[in-house]
Amino acid sequence: MNFQLKALDDAGRFVTLALSASSVDEAEQLGRERGLEVLAVESVKAGWLHAGRHAKFPLLLFNQEMLALMAAGLSIVETLETLLEKEQRSDYRTVLQQVVSCLHQGQNLSQAFESQPQAFPALYIATVRASERSGNLQESLQRYVSYQTQIDQMRKKLIAAAIYPTLLMLVGGLVVLFLLLYVVPKFGHIYADNQADLPLASWLLMQWGVFVDAHAGLLAWLALGSIALISLVLSRPEVRAALRALLWRLPFLGQRMRIYQLSRFYRTLGMLLDAGIPILAALDRVAGLLDQRLQQQLAQARNAVREGLPLSHAMEQNSLSTSVALRLLRVGERSGQIGQMMGRIADFHEEELNRWIEWASRLFEPLLMTFIGIVIGGIVVLMYLPIFELAGSLQ
C-alpha cells in the first residue's frame, strides 16, 4: 500500500514523504527511522501517478530534458518554465506548475520537488538536496539518469523474459479450457450409449463432459466466485507477504531474488554516496528497496556502522553481501571510492542475473511447451481413443 507522511525533519521543516508499507504503523515506523517527527499518515489510493488508468510521471525523460536545457545555459527556473510551456498533458502540467510556483515563492529546488511526492520519489529529492549543498546539480542529475536507466533496463529484461512463458500459459490454458468445457461435453453425448466399453481414462473424461453439460450454470457461478475469492485473498498484504516468503524459500529462485534485491540496493546506495549523502542517511533512504526480512538485517547493519564498524564488516555480519561484493567493498573502503565500487558490485551481479535469466528462459520455455502439448494431446487422444479402437477392430 502507498502512504503519504506529513512530518518535520531534523531542521524543523515541514515535509511530505511518499512511501510503500503494509500498514499505517509500518509507514509511521519507516518515517521515524528516517529521523522524521511524523505528524500524520494518509493512505494514497491508486491515481494518475500510480498503477492505474493514467501514466506515471516521466521522471527519466524529465531529467534528460532538464539536463539538455541547463547545458544550453538556462537557469533552473527558465528550464522548468520552458518544460511547462511545451507540455501538453494536463496532469504533467499541474505538477510542473506547482514546482515553478514554489520556486517563485523562494523555495529551493528540492523543496519544490518535495511538494509533489507523487511525482518525485524520496531518493530523487535526496539527490537534488545533496547537489544543492555541493553545487553540482547537473552532475547529480546525470548520475540519477544513469542510475534510473540501468534500473529500468534490468526491469525490462525481467519483463521481457516473462512475456513469452506467460503467453504460452495463457493460450495453452484457454485451449485446455475450450476442450474440457466445450469439446469434451460434445463427445460425451456421442459416447452416451456405450460408455461401459470405453477405456478407464476415456470413461473418466467422458463422465466429466456429462457433468459439465448437466451443470454448466453451476460451474459458471463457481468459476466466477473462485475468481472473486482469489482476487480478494491476493489483495490482502499478509497473503502477498506469505507468497513472497514462500518464493524466497525456494532454493533455485530465492537466491536469485536475493541477488536482484542486493544489486538494486547497492546501485542505489552507491548513487546516494556519490551524491554526497552521508552513509547513515543513505542507508535509511534505501531501506524501502529491500524485502521485509532484509530490512531487518539492514537495520542491524546500520547500527553496526553507527557504532564504528566498517561497512564491509557490517554487511558481512548481517548477510547483506556476496563474496564478490565483500571484496569490492573492502577495496572501496581502502581507496575511498566506495560509491563507485557499489556501482561495480551492481554491474557484476546484474550481468550474472542476465546470464541466469537467459539460461532459465531457454530451459523453461521448451519444457513449458512440452507440458502444454502433452496435456492438450492427452485430452485429444483420450477423446478419440475409442474411435481408434473401433477402426482397429474393423480391420
Query: Distance of alpha carbon 217 from its chain centroid, rounded?
Result: 38
Residue type, 316: E
Query: Edge-to-edge strands of the sheet including 14-20?
Result: 14-20, 2-8, 37-44
In the CATH scheme, what is the code of domain 255-350?
Answer: 1.20.81.30
- Strands (E) across the chain are located at 2-8, 14-20, 37-44
Q: Is residue 110 within 8 Å of residue 132, measured between CB atoms?
A: yes
The total of other beta-carbon atoms located within 10 Å of residue 233's CB is 11
Q: What share of residues in the chain are helix, strand, coil (percent, to 5)?
A: 75, 5, 20
Q: Which of 300, 288, 200, 328 has its CA nearest to residue 18?
A: 288
Q: Measured between alpha carbons, how far is 214 from 208 in angstroms, rounded to an integer?
A: 10
**How sure is the predictor about 196, in pLDDT bands with cuts at 50, 70 and 90?**
low
User: Torsions phi, psi of 2, nearest 5?
Assistant: -105, 135
Range scoring the smallest mean pLDDT among 210-214, 222-226, 339-343? 210-214
pLDDT at 393: 53
The total of other beta-carbon atoms located within 10 Å of residue 349's CB is 21
Q: Measured between alpha carbons, how far is 300 from 315 in angstroms, rounded to an integer?
A: 9
pLDDT, mean of residues 301-315: 90
Residue type, 106: G
Q: Measured between alpha carbons, how far is 257 from 294 in angstroms, rounded to an integer?
A: 12
pLDDT, mean of residues 125-145: 83
Average pLDDT, the chain: 82
pLDDT, mean of residues 175-188: 87
The total of other beta-carbon atoms located within 10 Å of residue 332's CB is 22
Give 317 or 190, the one with higher predicted confidence.
Answer: 317
pLDDT at position 45 over 60: no
Condensed to tens digits (0 to 9), the pLDDT of residues 322-357 reads: 889 999 999 999 988 888 899 899 999 989 888 888
**What pTM value is reported for the model?**
0.68
The DSSP line for 98-147 is: HHHHHHHTT--HHHHHHT-TTTS-HHHHHHHHHHHHHT-HHHHHHHHHHH
User: What DSSP character marks residue 182?
Assistant: I
For residue 343, give the C-alpha cell.
556501482
pLDDT at position 103 over 80: yes
Cα angle value 119/262/333 (rounded, 5°): 105
Condensed to tens digits (0 to 9), the pLDDT of residues 115-134 reads: 888 888 888 888 888 888 77
Q: Is residue 319 within 8 Å of residue 301, measured between CB atoms?
A: no
Could you give the percent of the chain with pLDDT greater than 70? 89
Handedness of CA 235, 237, 242, 247 (dihedral sign): positive
Q: Measured between alpha carbons, how far is 158 from 169 in angstroms, rounded to an integer?
A: 17
Q: Is residue 184 within 8 Å of residue 208, measured between CB atoms?
A: yes
Give 252 or 336, the one with higher predicted confidence.
Answer: 336
Q: Which of 382, 347, 45, 20 has its CA nearest to residue 203?
A: 382
User: What DSSP character marks residue 9?
Assistant: -
Q: Measured between alpha carbons, how far is 93 from 104 in angstroms, rounded to an integer?
A: 16
**How sure is the predictor about 389, in pLDDT bands with cuts at 50, 70 and 90?**
low
Q: Which of 48, 49, 20 has its CA nearest to residue 123?
A: 20
pLDDT at position 9 over 70: no
All structural domains of the chain with their residue ranges: 1-45, 255-350
Distance of CA 26 to CAs 19, 21, 89, 219, 338, Å?
Answer: 10, 6, 35, 41, 31
pLDDT at 303: 92
pLDDT, mean of residues 251-271: 86
Q: Measured between alpha carbons, how far is 45 from 282 in angstroms, rounded to an integer?
A: 28
Range scoring the smallest mean pLDDT among 79-88, 181-190, 215-224, 262-271? 181-190
Residue type, 56: K
Condensed to tens digits (0 to 9), the pLDDT of residues 46-94 reads: 443 443 334 578 888 888 888 899 888 888 899 999 988 888 888 888 8
> Cα-Cα-Cα-Cα dihedral of 64, 76, 139, 49, to 10°?
-50
**How sure is the predictor about 14, in pLDDT bands with cuts at 50, 70 and 90?**
low
